[in-house]
Amino acid sequence: MSYDYIICGAGPAGCALAHRLSEDPAVTVLLLEAGGADKNPLFHMPAGFAKMTKGIASWGWSTVPQKHLDGRVLWYTQARVLGGGSSINAQIYTRGNAKDYDAWVSEAGCEGWGYRNVLPYFRRAEDNQRFADAWHGTGGPIGVSVPINPLPISEAFLRAAQEYGIPYNPDFNGARQGGIGHYQVTVRNARRSSAAVGYLRPARDRANLTVRTGAQVLRIVVEKDRAVGVALAAGAGTEIVRAEREVIVSSGAIGSPRLLLLSGIGPADHLRGVGVDVVHDLPGVGGNLQDHLDLYVICECTGDHTYDGYAKPHRSAWAGLQYLLFRKGPVASTLFETGGFWYADRSARSPDIQFHLGLGSGIEAGVAKLKNAGVTLNTAFLRPRSRGTVRLASADPAAMPLIDPNYWSDPYDREIGLAGLRMAREILRQPALEPFILAERQPGPGHDGEAELARYAFRTCKTDHHPAGTCKMGTDRLAVVGTDLKVHGLDGLRVCDSSVMPLLVSSNTNAPTVMIGEKGADIIRGLPALTAAPPNALDTGRALESA
């Protein structure tokens, strides 16, 4: 059996690719997903995110011990379901800073991927229910909205951040990124708007698109320096499916390098060391891993101000009924609806800290839950200098990869990360939140010095689920793909997902990954690049961000 295009991985970029490539009825497209379909209702309820970080529809991976975090091993959720991360994430829609993409050009040589080049693809992907301007689009596959009925404590948090000195910003994806406000979220009509829903559902009836779930790709088949197909697990054996035009790897920042390595494409010494035959020596595969490390403050509330109380059976039942009847209430919340971007290092080119306000305690896996109602404020340093790796433990495709983000290997990351944690503590101590907050419980008293805060961070830090860069785009010897997303030195093979980012964006990564899929599809089809928004609008945005 053969297809023109085989896409390995149905995450945000893979779904966008499948939709756009299959728009051409003259080609056939096969989309392969190792996980299952998104049939569980939890995938479609915004608050279902709270269950996802605890293992639903994920690979069950963790990091290697982090030597700069006192040997800590971190749970590392990677999606295994149609829609990938967009089906299990907290649905926050942020794109990063314009200067992030311009740095892809100036620092990594990725011509054609500057902010003016990528903005039209953000706009094409988006169906924004509030904004329609030079920065936003309507009518696209992904529904984007603002939270409905924010809790009073969320509004008080906005005032507290302003009391601290952070200005209000109604649109982090518009003229400027810096500020505090309610996030835009990938929710349409109180339901999660994942890539599987937005891109695949409208295309599933196309005769030229085949979607296979439960299809684990074991390796890419390469003949005479050309990718000609994939080998799939089939019972005790394998099934070979051939690609007449291209194989496109879209398995995420961990899955994509893992698949290349299992296929013999990567650093030759490492491949030989784990017993994989070297097909193509490409040193950069699995290097350049970047991720946002998350630190957080948890406070006990003076009353039932968050959603913690809905964990009780009778209130949980009422919340479910409220959602089914009215599409409102706790189930309609993404639980992390409010936050923003600001500076720990005032000399930074753009905001370097991101905040996520969690409307409860113990929302995510591994995070402490208080006995009484609590509120959590997550904080992450956005442009880490530390670089890690993804490597194979063995040649066995069933083995967990060796994921080493190498957090805090650069001392600057530790310095700014802890500065962001201090900022979060100060915001929660502002007058506007006094009626809502009883006391800080984590880090809590006795954690004011550098050493004490660092020890707290070692015990409690977690990934922000934003890995990127492991098949980076560029022209240097460690680049894996070019600006056309073709793998250097091989024909018929591209990578298209967050792994191609040469530098991690200063935000959540779902929207940028969708953008990469959108732009990648046009590149693959040989279509003219979309034109940018009016230059004056973008110039205004740059001026405001620099102010």
- Rg of the chain over Cα atoms, rounded to whole angstroms, equals 22
Phi/psi at 202 (nearest 5 deg)?
-70, -20
Query: What does the alpha-carbon distance between residue 270 and residue 441 come to, in Å, rounded to a whole number?
Result: 45
In 312-385, beta strands by DSSP E: 338-342, 353-358, 374-381
Residue with the two structure tokens 């991927």: 113
3-class secondary structure, 507: coil
Query: What does the alpha-carbon distance between residue 300 and residue 441 come to, in Å, rounded to a whole number?
Result: 6
Sign of the torsion angle spanned by Cα atoms 516, 351, 355, 449: positive
Contact 505, 100 (CB under 8 A): yes
- CA triple 513-68-75, angle to 5 deg: 50
Alpha helices in 22-135 (DSSP H): 49-52, 98-106, 115-125
Query: What does the alpha-carbon distance between residue 177 and residue 171 come to, in Å, rounded to a whole number?
Result: 7
**What are the catalytic residues?**
466
In 58-156, beta strands by DSSP E: 61-62, 75-76, 126-128, 142-144
Mind giving me the DSSP string for 423-463? Answer: HHHHHHTSGGGTTTEEEEEES-TT--SHHHHHHHHHHH-EE
Query: What does the alpha-carbon distance between residue 256 and residue 252 come to, in Å, rounded to a whole number?
Result: 5
Residue with the two structure tokens 């984590």: 442
Q: What is the DSSP letter of 65?
A: P
Query: What does the alpha-carbon distance between residue 33 and residue 404 come to, in Å, rounded to a whole number?
Result: 24
Smallest CA-to-CA distance from 336 within 452, 204, 465 is with 465
Provide the token pair at 55. 């293992």
3-class secondary structure, 12: helix
How far, CA to CA in Å, does 302 sit from each of 161, 373, 374, 378? 19, 8, 9, 20
